[in-house]
Chains A and B, each alone.
Chain A
Amino acid sequence: MSRVANVVVMGIDETVQKFFGPISDWIGGKVFYAFDINGAPVPLIVLWLIIAAIFFTFWLGFPQFNLKHSINLVRGRYSKPEDAGEVSHFQALATAVSGTVGLGNIAGVAVAISLGGPGATFWMIVAGFFGMAAKMAECTLGVMYRQKHADGSVSGGPMYYLRDGVRQVTGNKALGQFLAAFFAVCCIGGAIGAGNMFQANQATAQIVAVTGGDDSFFADLNWLIGLVFAIAVGVVIIGGIKSIARVTEKLVPLMAGIYLVACLIVILGSVSEVPGAIGDIISGAFSAEGIVGGFVGVLIVGFQRAAFSNEAGIGSASIAHSAVKTEEPATEGFVALLEPLIDTIIICTMTALTIVITGAWDDPDAGDLDGVQLTSRAFESVIPWFPNVLAVAVVLFAFSTMISWSYYGMKATGYLFGDSATAEIVFKVIFCIFTVIGASLSLEPVILFSDAAIFMMSIPNVIGLYFLAKTLRKQVKGHRARLASGEFARVK
């Protein structure tokens, strides 16, 4: 490439950075308004989410301990024969999981550990556990208040339970409409930030890293990788080429399997160090020496990255779960609670163990590594060629998350603009433009904006969950009673 072209190209990345950086700082400052405890900033929004998750854990009677019922539902033990051909519990869960399992699990964990040390993992797991109940709450309500259209299609999610449910319980139509519209606007932001820019950013980082880092042909061409992503996404969501999305949906579980096997190879390869790593995780959780903000700092980092990864309380998954075929909305709640279990408690913990066991987080230059690069380094120390496989996995995870989130954003746009086809197309084009922007920026402004946008969704969503808490508990209690009486019985 000529020097002139080089200058022009570097100019694109820098211009994007210059323009977008202050915007993300401003939004991040507002959403992450924090007060200090012992010098550690505690963002209110993180407390907001964890308190909701703990509340619903108690309110719904610790549904986390009903895993057997959840698993039987997913296995189709309760699915009626005449429902064959409809969306099964497994399919609804798998679709939602492929939207959630993304770079939050690979890069997010690395960010947590580099900021909060191994102890952050402990708090991620704790947050994942409570998050299961928040996820159950929003997905049960998603099914309860979903809309069936004339053409047989189904729309659900917080927009509908906020609008219709909140109006029902409060009698205040305007409040419901306001919360629903607030959620829809935040959802569009979340889709563009966490569901798009963050994914494009980290996938690009990994591509550059495996092709030679600073010496890579792509080193100053982040925008070009972003453009390729944007075209691929555009082909699917604007061009309606379903085959690409379908292939991705089938490859993602495979890559997730390969990823977990690689984690196991690293973990089992140094099995003698596992007790030590677990010790580091637990002791680090309570005595955080040398970490900004000490104990509270670690706790907050863990909670924040867990919420970002499993999206419990955010409301997004409720959109995907609503398509399920069931007469009992609570069944999908029981299925949905497996999502934080898979996402945070299993996959994030595996990533964390890999990073802690290999000691990659403790390298002198670890602080300079961007999220996914730290995870990549951890694998590389045991399986030298794995970063290439990781790059493929990261690209696929990023792509499937982008497809899912473009769908969430599109449903939110459709809700705001009365399913206007023009509005949906405008959203899709903007979505693709932000893919390029996300790839061009450095990690900090992207993660700040992504966090801010996705966490903002939880404000209207959690308010709605509290309003609907009684309705929700009635539904779940009713389901438990029908289950106990045999009215809702296994068919196989």
Chain B
Amino acid sequence: MSEVLVGVDGSEHSRRAVEFAVARTLERSGSMVLVHVIQWSPFSFNTPTENEHRHAQKAAEITAANEQVVDPLADLVREAGVPLEIVVIHGDPVDMIIKIAEERHSDHIILGRTGDSRVRQAIFGSTPAHLMQESPVPVTVVP
């Protein structure tokens, strides 16, 4: 059975990406995995106080991401009757989405266009743009 990986953040574009993915998955009677990556790098510089509370902070970030970002989108998928799994994880969005797609043998990655400004995109590039360069499977970006 084919699986579609949908990378989501809290934006309206993500919502449209999920709707698009649901319609597509229903046509092919496949399944979906919703992935939300909390931006995090093991190579950042922290204060000692931040480190002391990091473990609790991680749990709080995951709870917040589930409640605010993932759950509303997951409801949308479940209502449509599509089999669903959810992954919320810390890391670099591009690296993590590719890694998860590879591990799960997902055959399609769908994500919303990011709302970053032109300047930001010019400097850092956008998540979808990076993903398209590196993804092992087709990527669809939903506007």
A residues contacting B by CB (< 8 A) are 76, 79, 84-92, 94-95, 98-99, 151-155, 242, 245-246, 249-250, 252-253, 319-320, 323-325, 403-404, 407-408
Contacts and interface: CB of A to CB of B under 8 A. Distances in A.
Contact of A95 (B38, B51, B59, B89): B51
Interface of B: 38, 40, 42-56, 58-59, 61-62, 89-91
Nearest to A248: B47
B48 A323 contact: yes
B47 A85 contact: no
Given A152-B53, A320-B51, A323-B51, A86 B58 contact: yes
Contacts of B43: 88, 90-91
Nearest to B45: A249
Given A242-B47, A407-B48, 9 more contacts: A84-B40, A85-B61, A91-B42, A91-B45, A92-B51, A95-B45, A95-B48, A155-B52, A245-B49
Nearest to A405: B48
Interface centre among A88, A94, A99, A325 (most CB of B within 10 A): A88
Contact of A253 (B45, B51, B53, B61): B45
Contacts of A246: 47, 50
B52 A91 contact: no
- Interface SS, A side: helix
Given A151-B56, A325-B55, A94 B46 contact: yes
Nearest to A324: B51
B47 A87 contact: no
Nearest to A152: B56
B47 to A, nearest CB: 5
Given A79-B42, A91-B42, A86 B48 contact: no
B32 to A, nearest CB: 22
Nearest to A84: B90
A252 B45 contact: yes
B45 A94 contact: yes
Nearest to A245: B47
A91 B56 contact: no
Most chain A CB neighbours (cut-off 10 Å) among B40, B53, B55: B55
A76 B52 CA distance: 20
B73 to A, nearest CB: 21
Contacts of A151: 53, 56
A92 B54 CA distance: 11
Nearest to B99: A81
A366 to B, nearest CB: 35
B51 A76 contact: no
Given A87-B54, A92-B51, A323-B52, A152 B46 contact: no
A445 to B, nearest CB: 28
Contact of A250 (B45, B54, B55, B62): B45
A252 B55 CA distance: 24
Interface centre among B42, B56, B90 (most CB of A within 10 A): B42
Given A151-B56, A153-B56, A84 B89 contact: yes
